[in-house]
Structure 1
Amino acid sequence: MRLLEGIESGEIKTGSGKNQMSTLKRASDTRWSSFFSTVVSLIKLFSVVIDVLEFVRENGNREQRGEALLLLKGLQCFDTAFSLHLMKHILGITHELSQALQKKDQDIVNAMQAVQIAKQRLQKFRDSGWDNLLEEIALFCSKMNINVSDMNDIYVSVGRPRRNVERNTNLHRYKLQELNSRFNEVNTELLLCVACLSPIDAFSSFDKRKLLRLAEFYPVEFSSIEIDLLDNQLESYIIDMTSHQGFLNLSGLTDLATQMVKYKKHRLYSLVYRLITLALISPIATATVEHTISAMKNVNN
């Protein structure tokens, strides 16, 4: 009934073909961009999901009624509403970046502009998006008959007595802890360091300091002595690369690695080549690893 009412009022858009919103979308284990569609879909059809669970609670068998009751309890709370809308914004901001990084032929360096844009938007959302987010969540909770937490009240974790918790308010919990914990600066730094390996535009992105920092991310692969050797090797490497005709007009790290092997440079600059191969097999640098993991999961199953 709620689904029909939503369609008639225009609140739920059915669309056509791939644009249909009449069913919940399943998230893929290795496709992060799919989670955005899943979250948006769940928010749009939230009332319908609640209706279905209430029907199962009243008409299902004993096991189904128990599961439905637990799901209803978990869904119809402020924590769930907050998490859904927070992740909708975050996944929406990073949606284009996720799609770019999922392409098998996508060089991470070519996606750095998208990384920078996403980073700036995430910072803006963190700094000035709280009021709009809370207003959006409050409106959603009002429609779904969910109690909105008072941001000035003391936050109490489910199942923990009030006397045993730290005296933090809901504002501290949701805005300062929950919102800030979604942003990881380490991955961003790693991406920016990898970008310095780019051969595009005559190695214009080369930055020895950041490449040494990149090596520090792999302590198992690079000892402290090897990092010192890498420091010296990078000096010769960049002079050789920018003066060699075989390394002009390269389009990415894959081309760079191929040409280094072709001209035997991988032996001369073995530590630099090690950095390049680590970047190429890194899950943040290519989707190939994710596809391989997915295939292995199917084999294991």
Structure 2
Amino acid sequence: MALVGVAKRRFQQLRSNGWEDFLEKVKSFCIEYSIDVPTMDSKYEPHGRSHRFYPVQTIDDHYRREVFIGIIDRIHQELENRFDEVSRELLICMSALNPSNSFVSFDAKKILKLATFYPKDFPSSALRTLEIQLGTYIEDVRMDDRFEGLNNLGELSNKLVDTKKHEFYGLVYLVLKLALILPVATASVERVFSALYLVKNKLRNSMSDRLLNDCLVTFIERDIFSTVSEDDIVHAFMAMRKRKAKALN
């Protein structure tokens, strides 16, 4: 999360003061490979587009504002969307469960804060019990040689089950399961939205919700559907109702 903050600040510095250096690098590249460099103060002439859709501007203005700054703003906005305040807080709290280096990242306060994001699973009484369990849990796993060398939450979860400690520290194990599920659930949602932009394009803008849902399922799970033979699809289609179907060549 610290590196995400650094990246955002770097993008802001690049946006404010990076154009001149970037332009010099582009010019050097063009000169090296014998590419014509236009006069940056001349009028920008759009290619293949009507001039009435473009404001009167210089080449420098076009590439500085619409290309250079425009791309930086899009990347910065994408970082903001993926790592907003809530997401950053969740990831920072999740890191407190990390078992690597003998649980050096353990922080009971952060884990309790992570639990507060799930009030249905952790009412106030459960939070008090979780706080007590965390103190005993960390002493127990640090002294247990079987928990040495763990590197991620998945290995920690498996080891807790193998040693039956998930029964003693039920609430700690529940927090751990929620931390493991969260990235998968978030990635699945992101995956669906990414597929939505590809499936529901301008040509398919008027499709029904049912057809859209079917197209999304087959597109997202295409690895599974690629294993289904055409004959099975035809047989399933014909079994839905009596219909005539031409034999496949």
TM score, norm. by length of structure 1: 0.43
Cα distance in 1, alignment partners of residues 166 and 118 from structure 2: 19
Which has the larger Rg?
A: 2
Q: Which residue of 2 is the match for residue 231 of structure 1?
A: 131
Tell me the residue number matched to 2:168: 268
Q: Which deviations, in whole Å up to 9, do the C-alpha atoms of 1:17-59 show, x marking residues without a partner?
A: xxxxxxxxxxxxxxxxxxxxxxxxxxxxxxxxxxxxxxxxxxx
SS at match of 1:279: helix
Q: Give the secondary-structure state (helix, strand or coil) at the position aligned to 2:183.
A: coil
**Structure 1 residue runs without a partner (length 5+):** 1-114, 150-173
Partners of 1:202 and 1:248 within 8 A in 2: yes
Do 1:191 and 1:284's aligned partners in 2 also have CA atoms closer than 8 Å?
no
* Counterpart selection for 2:55 from 124, 143, 147: 147
Per-residue deviation at 1:279?
A: 0.9
Distance 1:291 1:206 in 2: 31
Unaligned runs of 5+ in 2: 23-39, 48-53, 58-72, 196-215, 226-249
Match of 1:297 in 2: 217
Q: Partners of 1:218 and 1:258 in 2: how far apart?
A: 23
Q: Deviations over 1:106-140 (max 9, x none)?
A: xxxxxxxxx432321113324x344247888xx8x
Report the CA distance shift for 1:222/1:123 in structure 2 as closer, same or farther (over 3 A). Answer: farther
Structure 1 Cα separation of the partners of residues 45 and 17 of structure 2: 17
Matched, 1:221 2:121: yes
Counterpart for residue 48 of structure 1: none
Instruction: Indicate the residue corresponding to 2:2 in structure 1.
Output: 116
Matches within 5 A, 1:34-113: none
Identity %: 35
* CA drift at 1:258: 0.6
Aligned to 1:282: 182
Q: CA deviation at 1:144?
A: 4.2
Contact 1:282 1:289 in 2 (8 A): no
What CA deviation, in whole Å up to 9, does each residue of 1:181-225 have, x standing for no partner?
656121111111111101100000001111111111112221121
Partner letter of residue 8 of structure 2? L
Residue number in structure 2 paired with 1:55: none
* Structure 2 counterparts to residues 119-130 of structure 1, below 5 A: 119-126=5-12, 128-130=13-15
Q: How many residue pairs are counted as aligned between the two chains?
A: 157
Opposite residue 206 of structure 1, the aligned amino acid is F
Change (3 A) 1:148 1:117: farther
Query: What's the CA shift string for 1:154-194, capped at 9, x where partnerless?
Result: xxxxxxxxxxxxxxxxxxxx9xxx79965612111111111
CA separation in 1, counterparts of 2:167 and 2:153?
17
AA partner of residue 224 (structure 1): S
- Return closer, same or farther for 1:179/1:249 CA change in 2, 3 Å cut-off: closer
**For the residues of structure 1 that align with 2:154 and 2:93, how far apart are their CA atoms?**
17
Does 2:74 match 1:189?
no
- Cα separation, 1, equivalents of 2:168 and 2:56: 64
Specify the code of the residue in structure 2 equivalent to 1:244: D
- What's the Cα RMSD here? 4.0
CA distance in 1, matches of 2:168, 2:4: 38
TM-score w.r.t. structure 2 length?
0.51
Q: Using a 3 Å threshold, how does the CA distance of structure 1 residues 244 and 181 change in structure 2: closer, same or farther? A: closer
* Residue aligned with 2:150, SS: coil
Task: For CA contacts below 8 A with separation 6 or more, give which structure has more relative contact order.
Answer: 1
Corresponding residue of 1:131: 16
